[in-house]
Structure 1
């Protein structure tokens, strides 16, 4: 009897201690994740010290006017800002492979192939650097690994508080055929990073300590998680109105399972269902929003959504004949614009990297405005409430943290 009592007491103690042990392990993983982000912050600042500019999000080899010379011989300026940080993250070996021609055995090209300097487009799976998992880019709390992803990342560039033209809007800085699109991009792209455009610390007029530079993202596990598997929303992004995602971000909140709000309900069209390679954080080398971008619209750990629009810059609505686009079809959902909030496997919030290199933990309950049916700075003209260029972000403190020069005062610690 005494032995049974002792065993029972030991069992009760183990049962009480196990949750504490698990919590301690998660705390250690969270600290490691924060340290990774700190290293990224130091890398960004060292890059800026070396080149007097931030690494460009949307860079690489580029043939003018979107020449379709083949994904294997140029990357069409589709590389993320993380590629430029490689030498500053003690990844010199991978950087040397990227900046020099690299021989790979590619069956799709009939055997051995020589990839040019800066590599092919980021979806080419036979190019070794793009499928390499870099420990500094991975949060220990995130269990995602393996195919259909390539090299994963849990850290993404912040583009600010707009869902409109996150990719080709900024392309207007190099495509000059229609100045109207440059004006649209100029009024819309309000974050620290602007795709295909070089920004500097001097552009962050709101103060480095008050501006989110990067954010944490959870990678997709193939389970229709609303935070990692973007809903494909057919309402479009043009024009901004109460019925389109660009004018009404609350559309992204529909379609979840009532019994499990963190997952999409059956029947919801999501990009992971369209193509298993379209998962959050699946390609660290790609600048496409699904893989390496966050927006400060919906609060952390909210659903992510991609929208659709065709035909700008004289392009047509059919496949590869497109000369340029703002967003594209479900089959190309990794390139689509939309709402891509930060997310994490930590309890209650996400890490963000501020412009001064500080790492902060933002809770899911951060003040993000009282009305999500609004959109800022659309096409240089007044539209829905708060859409006039220069307007205060309608997404409260969260939106204000995402803008680099909106002159919005942050009065208290967050």
Structure 2
């Protein structure tokens, strides 16, 4: 009997068990936010490392070729520009000069295997045939374009899978303007059915005037072109990819009221139209005409179009994307991220910085710099060659505007 009573004295009572469970629950509740915060810190550091790797790749590329990789390039058909023909899978497809800077960067970021696949003709088991560098970068049947490349992805971004192809979270910086980021210095001339490679005076004027960043469509710049200083100029910015929702940062709004001039003369226009949900200011409301599911931010790492792989320093980080027309047009495209409070950017000297959403960004209603716009030949009210009207943020985006940037 004494032994039995001794065992009963050693047992926990129901009250004691409930107290212990309650204490454990409280401790878990206290520790879980710290664990989540530690995980995000690790993901953010990994994202920063990816940006750093891309920066090293840019510098190694420049050391090898004395220029930066071109944004808007690739083998093409010199006498044909039809999008359907460009997407053919019988070996006659072509790029239409639509490949982004990340394609040329592949062998410089330890992606030699996929570079070998891209840079050589490919015949698949199902009979599809592709020339070197494939067809248009929005063609998901070409295997390389649908490949996820870890170096091009931020671990904090949960976007994965269709309807995207291979996603990217890192976009080329085009400075504090956007006209004409669709064509740049090389345009298709319908009158002669040929490309004009830096030989069209109007295209050259537009690019010199409005594309003031580290990258210019279809033109390979050099570090010597960055007279503002490599440490004062953004080369690459982080972008959040689309998740199939109506996020203003990753789903562009189709501006049907005002077109190019409506956005260029007031970059804050999409917000002022009252189409952002006041109860959820990170999302467009139900009346906003947004792009379809297959055209969201960062869905195609090989694609040169603005929505896919271009950022500019017009609106502050994590502001809304506001293009002038469909998903293949130019417009206001701020960097964005899934990190709290800001985005990673790569400076041209290779340094990685985290830029706060609250960075001084001037007046978003001041017109962008542009020249000879559209068929009317309209010039911006903001004179060509002006210092950036978008404060410190805009100044960090320009390569040669002579702004003073305080450390």
TM-score by length of 1: 0.87
Q: Which residue does the alignment assign to 1:97?
A: 117
Superposition deviation, residue 9 in structure 1: 1.6
1:394 equivalent in alignment to 2:383: no
Rg (Cα) greater in structure: 2
Distance in 1 separating the partners of 2:78 and 2:259: 26
Distance in 1 separating the partners of 2:267 and 2:50: 31
Superposition deviation, residue 388 in structure 1: 1.0
Matches within 5 A, 1:79-158: 79-104=99-124, 112-158=127-173
Distance in 1 separating the partners of 2:265 and 2:353: 29
* 3-state SS of paired residue (2:61): helix
Q: In the superposition, relative to structure 1, how do residues 146 and 382 fare at CA in structure 2: closer, same or farther (>3 Å)?
A: closer
Distance in 2 separating the partners of 1:376 and 1:128: 39
1:258 equivalent in alignment to 2:274: no
Residue deviations 1:77-131 (CA, integer Å, cap 9, x gap): 11000000110111111101111100136xxxxx612200111101111111000
Query: Contact 2:366/2:389 (CA < 8 Å) preserved in 1?
Result: no
Superposition deviation, residue 185 in structure 1: 1.9
Superposition deviation, residue 177 in structure 1: 7.3
Query: Contact 1:377/1:391 (CA < 8 Å) preserved in 2?
Result: no
- Aligned counterpart in structure 2 of residue 287 of structure 1, from 279, 304, 324: 304
Distance in 1 separating the partners of 2:270 and 2:117: 40
Query: Contact 1:65/1:175 (CA < 8 Å) preserved in 2?
Result: no
Superposition deviation, residue 363 in structure 1: 0.5
* 3-state SS of paired residue (2:279): coil
Residue deviations 1:261-307 (CA, integer Å, cap 9, x gap): 00000110111xxx321010000000011011101000000010111
Q: Which residue does the alignment assign to 1:2?
A: 16
Q: Which residue does the alignment assign to 1:369?
A: 362
* 3-state SS of paired residue (1:112): coil
Superposition deviation, residue 213 in structure 1: 0.1
1:39 equivalent in alignment to 2:56: no
Distance in 2 separating the partners of 1:219 and 1:90: 23
Query: Contact 2:185/2:197 (CA < 8 Å) preserved in 1?
Result: no
Superposition deviation, residue 175 in structure 1: 4.9
Structure 1 window deviating more from structure 2 (68-77 vs 121-130): it is 68-77
Instruction: Output the aligned Cα RMSD.
Output: 1.8
Q: In the superposition, relative to structure 1, how do residues 234 and 65 fare at CA in structure 2: closer, same or farther (>3 Å)?
A: farther
1:352 equivalent in alignment to 2:374: no
Q: In the superposition, relative to structure 1, how do residues 190 and 176 fare at CA in structure 2: closer, same or farther (>3 Å)?
A: closer
Superposition deviation, residue 379 in structure 1: 2.7
Distance in 2 separating the partners of 1:65 and 1:388: 37
Distance in 1 separating the partners of 2:198 and 2:32: 62
Query: Contact 2:210/2:371 (CA < 8 Å) preserved in 1?
Result: yes
Matches within 5 A, 1:46-61: 46-61=60-75
- Aligned counterpart in structure 1 of residue 401 of structure 2, from 386, 390, 406: 406
* 3-state SS of paired residue (2:263): coil
Residue deviations 1:201-247 (CA, integer Å, cap 9, x gap): 11011000000000000000011100000001123554x4xxx1011
* 3-state SS of paired residue (2:196): coil
Distance in 2 separating the partners of 1:401 and 1:207: 10
1:247 equivalent in alignment to 2:240: no
Query: Contact 1:235/1:245 (CA < 8 Å) preserved in 2?
Result: no
Distance in 2 separating the partners of 1:159 and 1:389: 16
Structure 1 window deviating more from structure 2 (370-379 vs 398-407): it is 370-379
Matches within 5 A, 1:217-256: 217-238=239-260, 240=261, 244-254=262-272, 255-256=275-276
Residue deviations 1:352-375 (CA, integer Å, cap 9, x gap): 000011110001000000343322
Residue deviations 1:161-195 (CA, integer Å, cap 9, x gap): 11221111432593567522321222111010001
Q: Which runs of 5+ in 1 are unaligned?
A: 106-110, 309-329
Q: Which runs of 5+ in 2 are unaligned?
A: 1-14, 188-194
Q: Which residue does the alignment assign to 1:321?
A: none
Q: How many residues are treated as equivalent by the alignment?
A: 375
Superposition deviation, residue 66 in structure 1: 5.3
Superposition deviation, residue 196 in structure 1: 0.5
Query: Contact 2:314/2:364 (CA < 8 Å) preserved in 1?
Result: no
Residue deviations 1:381-400 (CA, integer Å, cap 9, x gap): 88554x21110111001100
* 3-state SS of paired residue (2:128): strand
Q: Which residue does the alignment assign to 1:71?
A: 87
* 3-state SS of paired residue (2:127): strand
Query: Contact 1:170/1:189 (CA < 8 Å) preserved in 2?
Result: no
